[in-house]
Amino acid sequence: MEINSLSQLDLTKQYTYADYVLWKFNERVELLKGYLRQMAAPSRKHQTASMRLGSTFYFTFKGHPCKVYAAPFDVRLPKKNPVGKKPKDIYTVVQPDICVVCDLSKLDDAGCLGSPDLIVEILSPSNSKTDLFDKYKIYEEAGVKEYWIANPMENYIQQFFLNKQHHFQLLYVAAQNETLTSHIFPQLTVDVNEIFAD
């Protein structure tokens, strides 16, 4: 059956990437462990922060072997076992606001298959719970090396890195009048005032 509308889907059912690629509606969605999450239109502050962070990332990584991508960009996070890379076995498809991928073998025409090295999610009033709790655990389990949560409502960026126990550890919270330097990419520094200036 062709799916042309989000209303045709059962939001209590688990789906896979094999289902996801067949959907023909315009709404942006993610799959979090098989469950569909509709993405609301981002706020103005979210988009301003996204544009400024994206520009900083672009110029930092220009000519660098690692690649930077901004949403909408599908990141498929397969299960850890070898058979988990088939579309019917992938239950998580996310669209991070910004991600950096250094293992170029993970890239294909559909996006990224596997964990990016660094992910940035920018909070909006509608997505705070998802990014702070659900995606935090998903990215931690997937082995994302560094994760930033940018909060344009309160003007700070939380920086987490994956420790030796494979858990995210809070490294720093950069607030107004501070800069934030990436743990795994020391050449990447952002000015918090510049990112969140209104």
| pLDDT (tens digit per residue) in 105-145 | 999 999 999 999 999 999 988 777 777 889 999 999 999 99
Domain of residue 110, residue span: 43-75+94-196
Question: Is residue 17 a part of any domain in this protein?
Answer: no
More confident residue, 71 or 85: 71
Q: Give tens-digit pLDDT for 167-183.
A: 999 999 999 999 999 99
> In sequence order, what E strands does the chain have?
29-32, 35-38, 67-70, 75-76, 93-94, 98-101, 107-108, 111-113, 118-122, 146-151, 156-162, 168-174, 179-181, 189-191
Rounded distance between C-alpha atoms, residue 189 and residue 174, angstroms:
11
Query: Is 98 within a domain?
Result: yes
pLDDT band for 41, please (50, 70, 90 cuts). confident
- The structural domain count of the chain equals 1
Whether 28 is in a domain gets the answer no
Do the domain assignments include residue 86?
Answer: no
| Residue 13 within a domain | no
**Is residue 10 one of the residues assigned to a domain?**
no
Q: At 84, is the pLDDT very low, low, confident or very high (cuts 50, 70, 90)?
A: low
Q: Is the peptide bond preceding residue 72 cis, with omega within 30 degrees of 0?
A: yes
* pLDDT-based confidence at residue 4 (cuts at 50, 70, 90): confident
CATH number for the domain spanning 53: value is 3.90.1570.10
Q: Is residue 38 part of a domain?
A: no
pLDDT at 82: 54
Residue 109 lies in a domain: yes
The values of phi and psi at residue 126, to 5°, are -85, -15
